[in-house]
């Protein structure tokens, strides 16, 4: 197998990148010292998390001159995500820290007053001047996750000889990818962008992208065309996520299950755990149907098993070999004691998941406990919570908080200290208001904390996304809890994934049109085979909502 060198300099999920490279028919050779950079022919600089963190790690290990020399030598170089940002001279994320300076300029933050930040999801990488740049296609979509970007200014980079592919998010057009000579850099993650992303990776690995670029050099001046013609149309797609609740059944086999209001046992058949299929196979099926992400929730955390043997690790390893969209894993991410008495931190558990192919971890019960401590200490952050530690090490885009709220009816807002909603669905005694109480342990224990308090606390701690379930709606097929979603969207700036209640494609349309949710998740309707993910996407597309189709 031909080889590509991958720089191993910072914590992060590189397993999916390795899997994607192998899928393209190449073998990874790790670069673990600046001296090894000189031996590399083709080099990839991956990057996750913070610009400053990555660049300071690179500088401290002495990589900066070696990387500059590699780029100047004309050998193939690819930067991904923060690896793209690293080739600029600086970033507002950490103004003190210098980038590689291949491109002059400073990255800045997305405006979060009008939209969720980070920008998470599938968007364009469109280069009208070269519509086949490194296999990128104007109608394909690519997976982005970032808060900082380089704003696109027509002609600026082109005048320096760069070909530029752009995307637009909430009115801001930014650089999605740049290429010049031997250098390709993508803000999106090709390894998480399905078949479209693998095409870009392959064009880098086999040299065809650089060859085609040499034969079709960019225009150095852009005349005539207005900005609108140069930027990608349509932008961010509506994200549809398939969720698999996984647990061991009474025979000890790992199965995908699904509850009704969190009760996963059959009402008949001896109260057995509902078995809807095998996790790895079902994840692959949803990927091929066009799921934009796959989430696994390990709903019982497999409490009696040594952590290193957690069956979910193997499920992730196998899934990440065939599923090239983001994978989230939740359940049991908290400081814990292993079966032999060894203490294991939430960060160590998350690290095992990331190394096994997860892109994000989802924290449930532990987030509620941490939020309680946050308020009882007068909103002080000590840096010791799982959310803070994992987001510091892997970036906040890697930390999802899964919220399991239950509705509590009240006659009037002034009878509770909690943030209430005037509901269209009055309670049993005609109560016209309700608040949403957070629960822990899979809904078994209700705490004196509402969803607004929880989501604002975890946002302050560095969570990057909220997975918003609704116990009242779970498994009911009656549609999403629109009032709850609207309340949480109002409370935070980070993206929110609506979950619980999806029973047909119309429910996805409803949640996207009636709330500002950033993504919507379905489980039971997919597992029971009532609808496929593709049917949901086709339906949304017919209704004029922008979706990504599986790019086979």
Q: Which of 47, 279, 290, 332 binds ligand 1PR (CB under 6 A)?
A: 332
Among the listed residues 93, 158, 245, 292, the single catalytic one is 245
**279 vs 442, beta carbon nearer ligand 1PR:** 442
**Residue 258 near ligand 1PR by CB under 6 A:** yes
Strands (E), 441-503: 445-450, 465-468, 496-499
Question: Whole-number minimum distance, CB 90 to ligand 1PR, in Å?
Answer: 38
Contact status, residue 330 vs residue 364, Cβ threshold 8 Å: yes
- Concerning whether 81 is annotated as a catalytic residue, the answer is yes
**186 vs 402, beta carbon nearer ligand 1PR:** 402
Helices 505-514, 533-542: inter-axial angle, 10-degree rounding: 50
Q: Which of 79, 330, 395, 464 binds ligand 1PR (CB under 6 A)?
A: 330
CB atoms under 10 Å from CB of 118, counted, come to: 21
Name the pairing type of β-strands 142-146 and 183-186: unpaired
**Residue 245 near ligand 1PR by CB under 6 A:** yes
182 is in an annotated binding site: no
Phi first, then psi: give them for residue 405, nearest 5 degrees.
-90, 150
Dihedral of alpha carbons 212, 213, 215, 218, sign:
positive
Question: Whole-number minimum distance, CB 298 to ligand 1PR, in Å?
Answer: 7
Q: Which of 34, 190, 197, 475 binds ligand 1PR (CB under 6 A)?
A: 475
Question: Whole-number minimum distance, CB 530 to ligand 1PR, in Å?
Answer: 10
**391 vs 469, beta carbon nearer ligand 1PR:** 469
**Residue 275 near ligand 1PR by CB under 6 A:** no
Strands (E), 338-491: 343-344, 360-363, 399-403, 405-410, 421-422, 433-440, 445-450, 465-468
469 is in an annotated binding site: yes
**4 vs 346, beta carbon nearer ligand 1PR:** 346
DSSP for 3-41, written as a single string: EEEEE--S-S--HHHHHHHHHTT-EEEEE-SHHHHHH-S
Q: Which of 351, 362, 509, 517 binds ligand 1PR (CB under 6 A)?
A: 362
**Residue 365 near ligand 1PR by CB under 6 A:** yes
Q: Which two tokens stand for residue 487?
A: 């309340």
Q: Which two tokens stand for residue 339?
A: 């079966």
Pick the piece of the chain touching ligand 1PR (CB under 6 A) from 47-55, 273-281, 307-315, 516-524: 516-524
Question: Burial level of 220, CB count in 10 A (0-12/13-18/19+)?
Answer: exposed
CB atoms under 10 Å from CB of 205, counted, come to: 22
Among the listed residues 93, 94, 158, 191, the single catalytic one is 191
Per-residue contact track with ligand 1PR, 381 to 410, x per CB under 6 A? ---------------------x-x------
**Residue 259 near ligand 1PR by CB under 6 A:** yes
- Which residues share a beta bridge with 497? 467, 519
**Residue 331 near ligand 1PR by CB under 6 A:** yes
384 is in an annotated binding site: no
**139 vs 253, beta carbon nearer ligand 1PR:** 253
**Residue 442 near ligand 1PR by CB under 6 A:** yes
Among the listed residues 94, 158, 388, 404, the single catalytic one is 404
Provide, for the chain, the percentages of residues in helix, strand and coil under a 3-state DSSP scheme, each rounded to the nearest 5.
35, 25, 40
- Concerning whether 189 is annotated as a catalytic residue, the answer is yes
Q: Which two tokens stand for residue 45?
A: 């600089």
DSSP for 497-528, written as a single string: EEES---SHHHHHHHHHHS--SEEEE-HHHHT
**Residue 264 near ligand 1PR by CB under 6 A:** yes
List of residues contacting ligand 1PR (CB under 6 A): 243, 245, 258-259, 262, 264, 297, 299, 301, 330-333, 362-366, 402, 404, 442, 469, 474-475, 499-502, 522-524
Active site residues per annotation? 81, 189, 191, 245, 404
């Amino acid at each position: 197998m031909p080889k590509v060198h991958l720089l191993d300099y910072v914590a992060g999920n590189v397993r999916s990148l390795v899997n994607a490279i192998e899928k393209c028919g190449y073998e990874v050779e790790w670069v673990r010292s600046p001296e090894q950079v000189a031996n590399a022919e083709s080099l990839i600089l991956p990057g996750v998390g913070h610009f400053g963190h990555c660049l300071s790690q690179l500088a401290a290990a002495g990589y900066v001159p070696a990387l500059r020399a590699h780029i100047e030598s004309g050998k193939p170089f690819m930067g991904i995500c923060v690896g793209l940002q690293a080739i600029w001279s600086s970033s507002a994320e950490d103004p003190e820290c210098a980038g590689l300076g291949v491109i002059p300029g400073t990255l800045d933050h997305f405006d979060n007053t009008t939209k969720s930040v980070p920008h998470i999801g599938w968007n364009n990488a469109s280069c009208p001047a070269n519509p086949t740049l490194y296999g990128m296609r104007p109608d394909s979509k690519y997976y982005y996750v970032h808060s900082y970007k380089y704003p696109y200014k027509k002609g600026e980079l082109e005048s320096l000889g760069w070909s530029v592919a752009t995307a637009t998010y909430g009115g801001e057009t930014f650089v999605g990818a740049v290429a010049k000579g031997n250098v390709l850099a993508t803000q999106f993650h090709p390894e998480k962008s399905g078949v479209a992303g693998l095409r870009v990776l392959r064009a880098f690995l086999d040299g065809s992208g650089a060859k085609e670029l040499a034969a079709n050099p960019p225009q150095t001046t852009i005349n005539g065309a207005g900005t609108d013609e140069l930027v990608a149309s349509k932008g961010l797609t509506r994200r549809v996520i398939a969720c698999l609740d996984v647990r061991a059944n009474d025979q000890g086999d790992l199965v995908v299950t699904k509850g009704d209001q969190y009760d996963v046992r059959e009402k008949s058949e001896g109260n057995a755990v509902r078995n809807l299929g095998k996790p790895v196979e079902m994840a692959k099926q949803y990927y091929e149907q066009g799921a934009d992400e796959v989430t696994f929730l390990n709903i019982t955390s497999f409490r009696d098993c040594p952590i290193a043997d957690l069956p979910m690790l193997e499920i992730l390893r196998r899934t990440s070999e065939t599923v090239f969209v983001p994978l989230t894993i939740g359940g049991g991410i908290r400081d814990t004691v292993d079966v032999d008495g060894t203490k294991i931190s939430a960060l160590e558990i998350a690290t095992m998941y990331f190394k096994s192919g997860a892109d994000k971890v989802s924290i449930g019960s532990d987030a509620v406990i941490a939020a309680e401590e946050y308020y009882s200490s007068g909103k002080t952050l000590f840096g010791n919570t799982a959310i803070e530690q994992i987001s510091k090490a892997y970036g906040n885009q890697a930390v999802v908080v899964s919220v399991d709220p239950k509705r509590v009816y009240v006659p009037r807002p002034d009878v509770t200290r909690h943030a209430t909603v005037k509901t269209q669905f009055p309670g049993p005694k005609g109560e016209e208001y309700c608040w949403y109480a957070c629960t822990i342990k899979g809904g078994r224990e209700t705490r004196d904390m509402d969803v607004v308090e929880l989501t604002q606390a975890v946002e302050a701690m560095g969570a990057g996304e909220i997975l918003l379930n609704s116990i009242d709606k779970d498994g009911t097929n009656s549609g999403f809890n629109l009032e709850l979603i609207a309340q949480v969207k109002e409370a935070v700036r980070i993206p929110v994934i609506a979950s619980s209640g999806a029973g047909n494609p119309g429910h996805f349309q409803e949640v996207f049109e009636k709330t500002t949710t950033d993504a919507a998740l379905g489980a039971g309707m997919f597992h029971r085979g009532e609808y496929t993910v593709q049917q949901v996407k086709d339906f949304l597309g017919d209704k004029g909502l922008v979706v990504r189709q599986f790019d086979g």
